[in-house]
Amino acid sequence: MHDHHDHDQDPQQPHLSPLQRELLEHAPFSVSAVAIGLVIAGVICYLSPANVEAGHHHDGETVHFGLFHLLHPVHMFFSAAATTAMFWRYDRTAIKAIIVGLIGAVGVCGLSDIGVPHIALLTLGKEMPLHICVYEHPGLVLPFAVVGVAVGLAAARGVAHSTLFGHSLHVLASSMASIFYLIAPMGRTEWFGDLGRIFIFMIVAVMIPCCLSDVVFPMFLTKEARAKALQAGHHH
């Protein structure tokens, strides 16, 4: 079982920077997770629609029941773990790793699970009040982020391929949370008719925020990663 750093000297990728290599390795997991998430969501919608659909409107705001509020905190956990583990690979400063893990998880998870799906809903002609979970239910999501940072530190110290493993779990949780936010006001199976567009929106919701959180954000905050990226760019 080789260490994840071994690909830094991969002769088949001589001109790629560390950032480019990380994104290239993580991209297939991200797109695959979206496809798997859509299949799982479809099965759940068909078998148990009560856990998917949005709740009653109260004072102009939709209350989300069921699976979104389960999957969003889980996504926060995996995001914090993956972001922290990636940062720790390049910078072994614990305080910095904790701060980066928390900011990356809270900020990017909101964009991925809520921001992009909400834009997708508007594009699909569905209106629903914006639901910012970390603001309205901080006790629901923040404990998962804190524990995720601790797990990310532990995993990066002792588990080979921890960043790829963490990223795979992260993007699966992200795709599921984004999907259930998006399909909540769309009914049991009505969203199947927009599956193609939803697939593209979910790739955007997962790929950009999650790769930003897990790879770009922590790498560009470390001196070693920046130096390697600049060095590779000059050689190229």
- Cβ atoms 88, 100 nearer than 8 A: no
Identity (one letter) of the amino acid at 158? G
pLDDT at 4: 46
CA angle 67, 60, 53 (to 5 degrees): 25
Answer whether residue 113 shows pLDDT above 80: yes
CA-based diameter of the chain, in Å? Answer: 60
Query: What's the chain's average pLDDT?
Result: 75
Instruction: Please state the rounded mean pLDDT for residues 187-197.
Output: 82
Answer whether residue 164 shows pLDDT above 70: no
**pLDDT digits over 118-138, tens only?**
999 888 888 777 888 888 888
Report the percentage of the chain scoring pLDDT > 90.
9
Neighbours of 34 (CB within 10 A): 26
Taking the C-alpha atoms of residue 125 and residue 226, their distance in angstroms, rounded to an integer, is: 42
Taking the C-alpha atoms of residue 37 and residue 168, their distance in angstroms, rounded to an integer, is: 12
Domain boundaries, the chain: 20-48+68-235
**Lowest-confidence pick of 39-43, 91-95, 184-188, 222-226:** 222-226
pLDDT at 23: 65
**pLDDT digits over 22-76, tens only?**
667 667 777 888 899 899 888 888 886 655 555 544 444 444 446 888 899 998 8
213 phi and psi angles, rounded to 5 deg: -70, -50
